[in-house]
Amino acid sequence: MRTVHGTCHHDCPDSCGWTVSVDDDQGVPVAIGLRGDPDHPYSAGELCPKVNRFIDRVYSPDRVLRPMRRVGAKGEGRFEPISWDDALAEIASRLHDVIERHGAEAVLPFSDAGNQSLLAYNGLSDRFFHHLGASRLVRAICGPTVGAGMAMTNGSKLGLDPLELRHSKLIILWATNTRLTNRHLWPTIEAARTDGARIVVIDPIRTATASAVDPARGDRFLQPLPGTDIALMLAMMHVLVRDDLVDHDWVRDHAAGFDGLADHVADWTPERAAAITGLDASDIAELARDYGTTRPAAIRCLVGSEHHENGGMFHRTLACLPALVGAWRDRGGGLARSVGSWQEQLMDDTAIGRPDLLAGRSPRWVNMSRLGEALTELDPPVHALVVWNSNPLVVVPNAEATRRGLERDDLFTVVHEQFLTDTARYADVVLPATTQIESDDIVLAWGHLWMGWNSAAIPPVGQAVSNTELFRRLARAMSLDEPSLFDDDETLMRAALPTVDIDALRRDGWWRVPYPEDGRPWGDGVFPTPSGRVELVNPRLLQLGQPALPTFVPPREGPGGDADLFARYPLQLLTPKHHTRFLNSSYSQLPKHGPAEGGPFVELDPTDAASRGLADGDLAAVWNDRARVEVPVRISERLRPGVVAIPFGWWMRHHPDGRVANSLTNDTLTDWGGGVAYSDTLVQVERARAASATSATSSTVASA
């Protein structure tokens, strides 16, 4: 028996440390247990319900353990096992044929953060596809829009370490469900509350985090309509200026454009914002006064708020608030988002990705959020799709367009996976992928500052291979002769992180990346903008067709957008991460995870349900111009009238009609940053037929 230390790889801010118990007495090492590492400086031994059963995932009878070739229709899910040699030969032949007949841009790679570890995410894939000259993928479905918005104000994506909230006296949790999706930060917030800090939760859903609000302690929950937060921010600025709550000394020394901003928000009264957001004007004014009179004050957000047409402007506007009150001067003050940018500073993207292998070519870019469009409308067409680290048929918006593309007879699709996902069911060849405990890797966390080492606890199960080994094998099968395509994992790690002591990281298990010792990332008030200041007015935005000042533009798919569209589809749809036992599209198919969560449903406010004659358990049709989805009804008071929700992450098999939540969602790109407007989706809901749902009949929805 031995214990092996590792780090969770999931697309989650917490990147927890774990230990794996391995039995070496069975001939082949067998993992018999996985638990949180009690010595980990952030997660401190606690794992979430998703990962507590990770060994079940590793040894699941449904796991893909050898290559398979499709023998049924696309989407039918019928495959036959084949050897690795046969699989590689077929893939190599088909890719060579596509390149010879249609050019290398007809090959499209598709991956995301299904495993966000260094090698699994970056590894050899970019080198491989650069060498081919394949189309390039814009991986911006989550994250880059937030960073782009902050950079338009601060000149940088860098923000406050969320553990610095321990020093805050006012903590605004803006569009982030901390208790569910960032659970290991909550003890820090509770410790601050013990010392007198108050929390404000701003969210269109009454989440588990909102349920922690205690008005007796001065806490507050504000529930604006989706996509209207910028109006709330502008009204807060109005009150800060009107009531002279601005830190004029800090603004004079470290901000640019204050007079222009003050004039701009002069007519953004709380009453004006209240008419847009659905909030009470008095609550808006009180929030602004609290923010302007409490020090240190911090705002915490993550990526959910970027999923709007104005997602970049959301974060550009939000970043103006700490400047107006001088919050950056205080320890525990400022704006905390992903701290992955502190770790990414240590990455040598050129060394790991090798863009020089493009050899002067400039292949087209394809945004991952528009995969359906890429597979059905792109000219010249995509003829080969290689998917790993992702299940796009569930996670990409406008999923029915993606489905139509995957059904094409002239599209050759390869999927590297652990399970036969919805996407894999449409593949021509499915290849077996390792889990995290079967590969050495490094995890660059984005919710805290500790970079984590992951040791392989067991050899690959079955014939599974890691992502880097996959691309080494593909390169050999295609007779490619570029030496860097065959670099081993150790070489790749050292190339990617040239200033990190890899040996010490492996020995110790984690390493805290550099961060200002006094806890103030912008304590000196010097910002990497052309002016060296926070740019409340940013003239460079004019070149992007955006206003230089923070501005609210109603999303097209919303109450203040396209009036004809809103008349046909009067309900705003959200697709939240509702569940405790699965993450994105992972785990919902496993027997100890999905069944315990019930099943997919549409959640409505009692008013909206009553007006449609709907009761708990009825089967409802939710539809718009993109798709029609049938799901059971749940009625709750977590949503405002006019807003409905279908939890994201369930597979086709879990939905009564085989359509998923993202069949409905909006694939309009954000204003900048390349993100996508999932949360600006309009729908209508009606009774599909009288039914009693077997898995979603509860009249009370657990706060999540």
In the sheet that 412-417 helps form, which strands lie side by side, from edge to edge?
79-81, 68-70, 429-432, 412-417, 384-388, 107-111
Does residue 699 register a pLDDT over 70?
Answer: no
Average pLDDT value for residue range 301-309: 94
Q: Please count the other Cβ atoms lying within 10 Å of the Cβ belonging to residue 321.
A: 24
Report angle CA 478, 480, 481 to the nearest 5 degrees: 155
Confirm if 294 and 169 have CB atoms less than 8 A apart.
yes
Q: Looking at domain 2-58, what is its CATH homologous superfamily?
A: ADC-like domains (2.20.25.90)
**If you average pLDDT over residues 538-558, what whole number do you get?**
94
pLDDT tens digit sequence for 317-373: 999 999 999 999 999 999 999 999 999 999 999 999 999 999 999 999 999 999 999
Quick check: 81 and 67 in contact, CB under 8 A? yes
β partners of residue 27: none
What whole-number percentage of the chain has pLDDT above 90? 95
Contact 35, 47 (CB under 8 A): yes
Closest listed residue to residue 57, CA positions, set 653, 583, 598: 583
The percent of residues above 70 in pLDDT, for the chain, comes to 98
150: left (phi over 0), alpha (psi -120 to 50) or beta: alpha
Question: Given this model, what pLDDT does residue 689 score?
Answer: 67
At 253-281, the pLDDT tens digits run 999 999 999 999 999 999 999 999 999 99
Close Cβ partners of 655 (under 8 Å, ≥ 6 residues apart): 600, 629, 630, 631
Outline where 115-199 has alpha helix (H): 118-121, 125-132, 144-154, 178-181, 186-194
pLDDT band at 637; cut points 50, 70, 90: very high
Instruction: Report the 10 Å Cβ neighbour count for 660.
Output: 30
d(CA 303, CA 337): 8
Checking if the pLDDT of 678 tops 70, the result is: yes
Q: 2-58 with 68-141+343-512: one CATH topology? A: no
Which class in CATH covers the domain with range 563-689? mainly beta
Write down the domain spans for the chain: 2-58, 68-141+343-512, 145-337, 563-689
What DSSP letter does each residue of 408-467 carry, written as one string? Answer: -TT-EEEEEESS--TTGGG-SEEEEB--GGGS-EEE--SSSSEEEEE---SPPSTT-B-H
For residue 690, pLDDT beyond 50:
no
3-class DSSP state for residue 273?
helix
Residue 582 is predicted with a pLDDT of: 86
Mean pLDDT, rounded, for 181-186: 96
Helix (H) or strand (E) holding 687: strand 681-689
Give the lowest-confidence range in 467-476, 483-492, 590-599: 590-599
704: pLDDT confidence band, cut at 50, 70 and 90? very low
The CB density around residue 372, as the number of other CB atoms within 10 Å, is 23
Across the range 388-414, mean pLDDT stands at 98
- State phi, psi for 324 to the nearest 5 degrees: -65, -30
| Rounded distance between C-alpha atoms, residue 489 and residue 467, angstroms | 10
Task: Locate 574 and state its tokens.
Answer: 């959200």
Helix (H) or strand (E) holding 3: strand 2-7
Domain spanning 68-141+343-512, CATH class = alpha beta
pLDDT at 583: 85
The strand pairing partners of 414, in sequence order, are 386, 429
With bands split at pLDDT 50, 70 and 90, how would you rate the model's confidence at 288? very high
Phi-psi region of 349 (alpha: psi -120 to 50; beta: other; left: phi over 0): alpha
How far apart CA 39 and CA 529 sit, in angstroms, is 40
- Joined tokens for residue 140: 């911006």
On whether the CB atoms of residues 560 and 24 are closer than 8 A, the answer is no
Q: How many CA atoms does the CB half-sphere of 367 hold within 13 Å? A: 17
Over residues 433-449, the mean pLDDT reads 98
The token duo for 368 is 């991952």
Residue 577 has pLDDT above 90, yes or no: no
List alpha helices for 356-398, DSSP H: 371-376, 392-395
Residue type, 452: G
Lowest mean pLDDT among 91-105, 285-299, 300-314, 683-697: 683-697
3-class SS of residue 313: helix
For residue range 141-176, list pLDDT tens digits in order.
Answer: 999 999 999 999 999 999 999 999 999 999 999 999
Q: What is the mean pLDDT of the chain?
A: 95
CATH 3.40.228.10 holds for 145-337: yes
What pLDDT does residue 157 have?
96
Q: What would the pLDDT profile of 21-33 be if each residue is shown by its tens digit?
A: 999 998 899 999 9
pLDDT at 695: 37
Helix (H, G, I), strand (E, B) or coil at 105: helix
Q: What pLDDT score was predicted for residue 584?
A: 87
Give yes or no for a contact between 587 and 660, defined as CB atoms under 8 angstroms apart.
no
Other Cβ atoms less than 10 A from the Cβ of 66: the count is 15
Locate tokens 């977590």: which residue?
638
